[in-house]
Amino acid sequence: MLFIVVYGLLALFSMSTRDPVTHSTIVWPAAGIVLGTLMLAPYRQWPVWGLVTVALHAGIALLHGRPPAVSLLLSVLNLLIMAGIAAAWRRKAGEPASLTRPDSLFWFVLLVLAGSIAGAYASIAALHGFGFVSVRLNPMVFAISDGVGALIGAPLVVAWAGFQPARSAGAPRRIAWQGLLGFVALIVSAELAFDGPTATSVLASTQYELSYLPLLFVVLIAMAWQRRGMTLALVVLAGIAGLNTYQGEGPFAASAGLLGNPLLEVQLYLGAAALLGLLMAAMNASRDEALREALAWKVRSEGMLLGTRQLMYEVDPRNGSAVWAGQLGELLGLEPAELPTLTAFLERVHPDDRARVAAYAEQRGNGDTGALTQRFRFLTGYNDYVTLQDIGAPVVDFDDTVYRIGGLLRLDERDAGQD
């Protein structure tokens, strides 16, 4: 039902921009709704979605006076193009379907551009072939309306499909407020840039240079609110820019430009905004995935150290600074701040073992992987000696220099049994 309502309303608006000579609509955001639906829907449901799409497209076109044969032809062609893009993207992107991975986003943009251009020439050839038009048609009208509609509509469907409110607080409150402020700034800047009366009343003149400012806020919203917030920002920007341009206002209304129609000009602007937002959302998603993976490995490492009663260390060979992980206080009675460097650690090694341990450390610092294991006595914070087993090795960088020295320490079982 939601698909019927959204697609129907978008198609109704688009038909009001129809060229009576070429029968083409100047804008066609409904293409993105179809594409996004097919990108997610199981293949067995495609025939149903196809029938609903063709019925809505052709039916609404008939209400606006488009010839029945033309309505059926263009609706079927548009469906076939969107289905081809969706099928090719699903083969390339794999599962799960997402536009937040760089590879899947690349294929989405490439296929939308190629499919829109191919669909434009196919539509023109069909209209000429069946004798529906005799004048020369501009393929850019078809390509831009379908392509920009797909770039805005499909990510909206993909991002919000299966949305459920989070049980937890979700994003930090600071980030949520940043996104909200960015959204308000987007609306204000878009109104000032595209709504002539608003700009005149606030700034005493129209400032068309401000049309670049909303693009900045689309990017900021993508950083704060991720892909869902970004898609909403694109819809709001498209609504403000498109409706005002349709009414003869804004920076694109007074100039026909290279494409001969202000609505085509503003769609290129919206297409650029969509690409910026999608790219930023993908970059944020990749960063967040890397952070989640790093956190997961941190939890696994801490669990392993806790379960096996081991300590992990990392030494920087340049300055001897040491980083510790594990229950240092419980096992050795010391805090990490008491062992900040390799030198501080060696001072607690038993005098009879210190020279050997220092020599091992020097060997590792020189990149020797043979100095792998050793046993030595160590003075704990409880003022007694325990025997530690050490296994460690240097981490060699790509230029054959030692980047770090890492290893594990554990209490010697024989020593622990004697205690």
Relative orientation angle of helices 30-40 and 139-160, to the nearest 10 degrees: 50
pTM over 0.85: no
pLDDT the model gives residue 344: 94
Residue 222 has pLDDT above 70, yes or no: yes
C-alpha 308/C-alpha 414 separation (Å) is 16
pLDDT digits (tens, 9 = 90+) for 176-186: 888 899 999 99
Report the distance separating Cα 395 and Cα 397, nearest Å.
Answer: 7
Name the nearest CA neighbour of 388 among 401, 399, 377.
Answer: 377
Quick check: 415 pLDDT over 80?
Answer: no
Sign of CA dihedral 393, 394, 397, 401: negative
Average pLDDT, the chain: 85
For 70-128, how does the pLDDT look when each residue is reduced to its tens digit (9 = 90+)? 888 888 999 999 999 999 999 988 777 788 888 899 999 999 999 999 999 999 999 88
Q: 413 pLDDT exceeds 80? A: no
- 387: region left, alpha or beta (phi > 0 left; psi from -120 to 50 alpha): beta
User: Phi, psi at residue 243, to the nearest 5°?
Assistant: -65, -40
3-state secondary structure of 165: coil
More confident call, 286 vs 150? 150
Q: Which residue has the higher pLDDT, 168 or 78?
A: 78
Phi, psi of 54 (to 5 degrees): -65, -40
- pLDDT, position 169: 47
pLDDT tens digit sequence for 323-366: 999 989 989 999 999 999 999 999 999 999 999 999 998 988 88
d(CA 347, CA 374): 17
Q: Picking from 15-24, 211-220, 259-268, 388-397, which range would have the lowest pLDDT averaged per residue?
A: 15-24
Average pLDDT on 361-384 reads 88
DSSP letters along 277-305, please?
HHHHHHHHHHHHHHHHHHHHHHHHHHHHH
